[in-house]
């Protein structure tokens, strides 16, 4: 009986789903960094934890140079003359949206920075929520146990 109970406890512990938490501080304006370090990194990290029978809860705070990656129509914003932003194509936008819809990544954008760039709610991708500011989003996430990872 003791052996059976011990085996059941070990099996339950093996299959228990631990949740790891991370908040990415996304401020890069570099397309290559977004593609290679951010998008591919999140997918790889999600797969790693899934293979360990754990969940990775991902949040992202968008600010700095990263606003342009989450704008619906660049021609209607301050980014209309930005050559780097013009390289952004529908495929990249679809991949970013997929992080939210397929991988459950929660995106937040700094409201103060969005306001300073004259971005309205309609300018910003629908899957992106607004945070009062970057500092508040980071404080809240870190106090909730999220590990901090900068992407610059």
Please say whether the dihedral angle defined by the alpha carbons of residues 141, 147, 150 and 151, taken in this order, is positive or negative: negative
> What pLDDT does residue 54 have?
97
Distances (CA, A) of 48 to 41, 53, 67, 87, 98: 10, 9, 28, 30, 18
Question: What backbone torsions phi and psi does residue 19 show, to the nearest 5 degrees?
Answer: -110, 120
> What pLDDT does residue 84 have?
74
Question: What is the mean pLDDT of each successive set of 10 residues along the chain, which is 152 residues long?
Answer: 50 64 97 94 97 97 96 93 80 93 97 97 97 98 98 96
> What pLDDT does residue 131 have?
98
Report the Cα 117 to chain-centroid distance in Å.
21
> What pLDDT does residue 86 have?
80
Q: What is the 3-state secondary structure (H, E, C) of 34-97?
A: HHHHHHHHHHHHHHHHHHCCEEEEEEEEECHHHHHHHECCHHHCHHHHCHHHHCCCHHHHHHHH
> What pLDDT does residue 19 have?
97
Residue 81: burial class (beta carbons within 10 Å; 0-12, 13-18, 19+): exposed
pTM of the model: 0.86
Q: Per CATH, which fold does 18-151 belong to?
A: Hypothetical Protein Ychn; Chain: A, (3.40.1260)
> What pLDDT does residue 8 have?
47
- Residue spans of the domains in the chain: they are 18-151
């Amino acid at each position: 009986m003791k052996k059976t109970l011990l085996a059941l406890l070990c099996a339950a512990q093996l299959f228990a789903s631990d949740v790891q938490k991370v908040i990415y501080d996304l401020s890069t304006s570099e397309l290559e960094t977004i593609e290679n370090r951010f998008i591919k990194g999140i997918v790889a990290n999600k797969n790693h934890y899934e293979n360990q029978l754990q969940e990775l809860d991902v949040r992202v705070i968008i600010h700095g140079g990263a606003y342009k990656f989450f704008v619906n129509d660049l021609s209607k914003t301050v980014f209309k003359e930005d050559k780097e932003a013009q390289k952004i194509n529908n495929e990249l936008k679809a991949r970013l949206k997929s992080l939210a819809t397929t991988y459950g990544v929660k995106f937040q954008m700094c409201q103060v920075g969005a306001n300073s760039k004259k971005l309205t709610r309609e300018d910003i991708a629908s899957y992106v929520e607004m945070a009062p500011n970057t500092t508040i989003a980071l404080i809240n996430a870190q106090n909730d146990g999220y590990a901090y990872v900068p992407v610059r």
